[in-house]
Amino acid sequence: MTLTTKTVSDACKSWLKTCERNALERSTMKAYRSHARIHIDPRIGDLLLSELSRGDVREFMDCLMDDGVSRALVKKVMVSLRSILSEAVEREWITHNVAIDVKLRRKARTVDDEKIVPTKAEIRLIIDNAPKSHRAMFVTAIFTGMRISELRGLTWDCVDFGRRVIKVIKRADESGEMGPPKSRAGVREIPMAPKVVETLLAWRDDASESDVNLVFPNGAGRVQNYSNIYNRIFKPMLVANSITKASGEAKFGIHALRHAAASLFIEQGWNPKKIQTLLGHASITMTMDTYGHLFETPEEDVSLFEKLESDLMAA
C-alpha cells in the first residue's frame, strides 16, 4: 500500500494494535475501540491521511457535538484521534498531526458545572447510617480521599496499622482486574485518621474471606462491582436519608466522597501541594482546577485588603 492510499481507518487499526502490544488496561482498550469504531471510523475513516486538514478535524468535532455526543466524550474522542494521527506521523504516513491544532473551546461555566461537595451534615449522615456491609469502605473514602477503584483494589497488606497509613499501590478496573495506579502520582501513602483505624480494625473481623486479601471484597471474596455498590448500596442509602435533589434522586455519586475529603483537607488549612499528594493528582494544576474554589475565603480576603491599605498608608 503506497503512502497516498493510507486512510484514517488504516491509522486507527495500526494505533489499536500498538495499544494492544503495550498491554493497556482492558477498560482503556474498550474505550479506545469504541472511540474508533463508533465515532471516528464511520465519520472520517475513509479520508486519506495525506489530504486530512484542520478543517476536516474541526468539522468532525462539530458533527459529534451536533449529534448530541457529550462534551466530555468529545474531548476523549479527540484525544484518541490525536493519538491515532501521532501513530501515522511515527510511521511516516503523514508529516504533521493536524488534530493537534484543533481544540474544543471552553464552555462558559454555570452553577451546574460546580462539583457537588457533601456538607458536613450529609457526611455525618453517611457515616452514621451506611449499611454495615459498606460502612468501612465509605468511612475510609471520606477520611482518605481514595478513589473507588483504589478502595475496591485495596488489600490488607497495604493497611499498616503500626504506622497508621494506607499504602496505595494498586487499583481494580471496571472489570475487576487488579493493576497499578494509572500514574506514578497515584502511588502514595495516606495517613489514617483515628476513625479509620478504629473502623478498619473492627471491619477486619467481619469482612468476607478473600483469596487475594481484599479489604472490601464482595460476598464471594472477589473485587466488588462498582455498579453494584452504587445502585444497590450507595444510591438507596442517600435516598433513605433524604440526601437528594429536588427531583428525589440521589444528590451525588460515590466520587463525591473524594470531594468531601478534599474539602475537609482544605478546611484544615493544609497547603495545596500536600493535598495534591494525598489525592494522588499528577499535577498541582489538576488539584487547583478541581478544588481551587474551595481555597477561596472572601471574609479573609476583605481583611487582607484592609491590611494592604493600612500598610500602604502607614508607609
Q: Are 93 and 235 in contact (CB under 8 A)?
A: no
For 164-218, write each residue's pLDDT tens digit.
999 999 999 878 889 888 778 899 999 999 999 999 999 999 999 999 999 999 9
At 289, the pLDDT band (50, 70, 90 cuts) reads confident
Supply 315's cell numbers: 508607609
How much is the pLDDT for 152?
Answer: 95
Supply 230's cell numbers: 452504587
How much is the pLDDT for 189?
Answer: 95
For 114-137, write each residue's pLDDT tens digit.
578 999 999 999 999 999 999 999
Which amino acid is residue 197, in one-letter code? Answer: V
Where is average pLDDT lowest: 184-188, 243-247, 274-278, 286-290?
286-290
At 146, the pLDDT band (50, 70, 90 cuts) reads very high
How much is the pLDDT for 249?
Answer: 93
How much is the pLDDT for 130?
Answer: 97
Average pLDDT over residues 127-150: 96
At 297, the pLDDT band (50, 70, 90 cuts) reads low
Secondary-structure percent of the chain, ordered helix, strand, coil, rounded to 5? 60, 5, 35
Residue 107 pLDDT more than 70? no
Average pLDDT over residues 240-248: 94
Report the mean per-residue pLDDT for the chain.
Answer: 89
Q: Are 146 and 258 in contact (CB under 8 A)?
A: yes
Q: Are 280 and 144 in contact (CB under 8 A)?
A: no
For 254-269, write each residue's pLDDT tens digit.
999 999 999 999 989 8
**Angstrom distance (rounded) from CA 160 to CA 168:** 11
The burial of 244, by beta-carbon neighbours within 10 Å (0-12 exposed, 13-18 middle, 19 or more buried), is given as: middle
Residues contacting residue 111 through CB under 8 Å, at least 6 positions apart: none
CA dist 93 to 3, 84, 101, 102, Å?
A: 6, 11, 18, 20
pTM for the whole structure: 0.68
Average pLDDT over residues 223-228: 93
At 285, the pLDDT band (50, 70, 90 cuts) reads confident
Q: Are 6 and 88 in contact (CB under 8 A)?
A: yes
For 64-75, write each residue's pLDDT tens digit.
887 888 888 999
Average pLDDT over residues 208-235: 94
How much is the pLDDT for 314?
Answer: 79
**Angstrom distance (rounded) from CA 159 to CA 253:** 25
Nearest of 199, 221, 218 to residue 209 by alpha carbon: 221
For 12-36, write each residue's pLDDT tens digit.
999 999 999 998 888 889 999 999 9
